[in-house]
Amino acid sequence: MAIASPPDLANAEHPIQPLARTYPRGLVIEPHSHDWGQLLYAESGVMWVSTPKAALLVPPHRAVWIPPHIHHGVRMMSDLEMRNIYLREELASRIGSELTVVEVSPLLRELIRKRVCLNTSIEEVYRDALDGLLVLELRNSRSATLQVAMPANGDRRLRCLCENVLRTPSLEITFEQHAQAIGASTRTLARLFNTELGLSFTDWRRQVQLAYASARLLDCVPVSAIADELGFNLGSFSEMFRRSVGVAPSAYASQHLEK
C-alpha cells in the first residue's frame, strides 16, 4: 500500500498545483479524499480508480476527473507515469461535480504536460493564460467512462470479492475459488450480487473484463495477449468482445485512439 502524497495544498497560493509521479505495477494508493479537485492522467500505463460506488478503469489517452471530497483509491495495473493537476475547490466547481473518465485531446494532453513541467519562475501572465486554457479544454472534454458498479454500503465480503476480481479478472479463477478465498458460500454471494448490484457474478465480471480489455487495447497490447490474460482462447474472446461492444477488438483501438 502507499499513501497519496500531493503537494502542500493547504499552503498553496496558486489555485492550480501540478504533480508528476512514477508508480510500479501493483502499487495501491489507499482510499483518501482532499479538498481540491484532481485530474489524474496516465501518460502511460493503466489504473483502476475505485470509489465507494464504482470502479473506473483509466487507460492511456484518458484521464479521470475527481471532484473535491470524493473518496477514492488507485491501483496500478501496469507501470504507470502519472500526471496530476489539482484545482482549488472554487475552480474545480467549474469543471463539474461528477467523477468521470474523459477523453484527453491532443491539446489537453500537451497542456497537462506543459503545466506539470512549468518552471515556478515563469511569467505569471503566461501561467494564468495556460491555466485558463487548460480549464476550458477540460470542461469541453468528452466523457469516455470505462466503469463498473461497486457495492457501496453492503456486505464486506462482497466488496472484498469485487476488489479481488478487479485485481485478477481472469476466467481461470472461478466463482467458487473467489468465494472460498473470502470465506463465504457461493449461494450467499450470488444473492448479494443480485440484491446489491443487480447482476449475476458472471455478468458483473464480464463488465470488468470488457473494461480491462478496452483499456489494454488502448495501450496497444495485442488481442491474443489480452485474451490470454483474461483466460479466454482467442476466438471466444473476440466473439465476446464483438457481441458486447459492437466491434471486433482488432478495430477498437483504431476507432478510439486520437490520431
Domain ranges of the chain: 9-139, 153-256
Whether the pLDDT of residue 44 is over 90: the answer is no
3-class state of residue 259 by DSSP: coil
CA distance 173 to 196: 22
72-126 pLDDT, tens digit per residue, is: 999 998 888 999 999 999 999 999 888 888 888 899 999 999 999 988 778 899 9
Q: Scanning the structure block, which residue is given the C-alpha cell 454500503?
A: 153
pLDDT band at 3 (very low <50, low <70, confident <90, very high): very low
**DSSP states along 194-224:** IIIISS-HHHHHHHHHHHHHHHHHHTT--HH
The CATH code for residues 153-256 is 1.10.10.60
Superfamily of domain 9-139: Regulatory protein AraC (2.60.120.280)
Of all residues in the chain, what percent carry a pLDDT higher than 90? Answer: 58
Cell numbers describing residue 18: 501540478
Do 37 and 91 meet the contact criterion of CB atoms below 8 Å apart? yes
Whether the pLDDT of residue 258 is over 60: the answer is no
Q: Give the pTM.
A: 0.75
pLDDT of 155 = 82
153-256 matches 9-139 in CATH topology: no
CA distance 234 to 121: 53
CA distance 73 to 4: 9
3-class state of residue 92 by DSSP: helix
pLDDT of 145 = 66
Q: What is the mean pLDDT of residues 124-148?
A: 88
- Between helix 201-218 and helix 234-245 the angle, nearest 10°, is 100
pLDDT of 7 = 65
